[in-house]
Amino acid sequence: LNLKNNIPWWGKIIIKMILSKINVSYHLWKKLKLFQHGDMCKPDYAYSVFIKHFENSKFHRKSSGFVSMELGPGDSLYSALIAYCFGAKKSYLIDTGQYAIDDPTSYMKMVDYLVAKGFTVPNIDGVSILKNVLDVYNAKYETDGLASLKCIADNSVDFIWSQAVLEHIRRAEFREVIRETRRVLRDDGVCSHQIDLKDHLSFSLNNLRFSDETWESDLMANSGFYTNRLRYNEIIRIFEEEGFNVEINNINRWDKLPISKDHLNEKYAVMSDDELLISGFDVILSPK
């Protein structure tokens, strides 16, 4: 019996809201497998995600020393090592908290994985703190979200990418984050984002049942299941208004709405089925 899969969406909201009020570090929740951002602690997953974004992206300095930025790395900073192997001379990893594993021996697992793939990777044997691991790969981990982005110089990054992150940016900050990515991106750079539009409760649209007022309250938004509920067309419009050309690589759709429109908040119930059926997409953004 898989308990997690048998808890209804509303039960997950209640449980997560209660647990988020208990003062326990993210690292302990992760150990207990109650909250976890993703699978970035697995070298093969981290590698496959990086490769997907990198292969989809064309940018001027791709083969000659580029600056890479991952938004929302989550549970590990493995992508800094991977980006180095693919020619990054510098990497930024920007999140909203220190969620990444900080034990250097985990990073040695990623080194071993890359060596087995035939890459020449700087040795980190004996390096005892994460900061020194990152220094070896000229990587910076910044954990103050939008404020961290604002500290990065204009026109200085070649390749910005994210995996299942943009839907988690607080709605009130979303446009400004996109504006900042445009500001830091070089005119010949590129962004690649994968965006998941399913609720983070039971892979459905239960998040659209609520009014903005309820959903955007700090209690809801800080309980580990928050998504900003921006739908496909609104996200694309913001990208365009903030100075990007948009190329859609892939769109995932449900065959039919996963819940009846009767259950949705009126703001979403009036949207077209075409809009609501989109459950995720991959997009490439280049400067206009």
Q: Which residues bind ligand SAM (CB under 6 A)?
A: 37-40, 71-74, 94-97, 99, 145-146, 163-165, 168-169, 173, 177
Q: In terms of CB distance, is 221 or 271 closer to ligand SAM?
A: 221
Q: In terms of CB distance, is 72 or 189 closer to ligand SAM?
A: 72
Q: In terms of CB distance, is 90 or 168 closer to ligand SAM?
A: 168
* Nearest distance from C-beta of residue 272 to ligand SAM, angstroms: 27
* Nearest distance from C-beta of residue 74 to ligand SAM, angstroms: 3
| Strand ranges (E), the chain | 66-71, 88-94, 139-142, 157-163, 185-196, 244-253, 278-287
Q: In terms of CB distance, is 88 or 165 closer to ligand SAM?
A: 165
* Residue 280 dihedral angles phi and psi, to the nearest 5°: 170, 165
Cβ neighbours of residue 113 under 8 Å, at least 6 residues apart?
43, 44, 47
Amino acid at 258: P
Do residues 159 and 58 make contact, with C-beta atoms less than 8 angstroms apart?
no
Q: Which strands form 185-196's sheet, in the order they lie side by side?
A: 139-142, 88-94, 66-71, 157-163, 185-196, 278-287, 244-253
* Nearest distance from C-beta of residue 179 to ligand SAM, angstroms: 12
* Nearest distance from C-beta of residue 89 to ligand SAM, angstroms: 22
Q: In terms of CB distance, is 71 or 127 closer to ligand SAM?
A: 71
Do residues 134 and 141 make contact, with C-beta atoms less than 8 angstroms apart?
yes
Helices (H) and strands (E) in the chain, counts: 14, 7
The tokens for 238 are 């913001």
* Nearest distance from C-beta of residue 146 to ligand SAM, angstroms: 6
Closest chain position to ligand SAM (CB): 38
Residues in the chain: 288
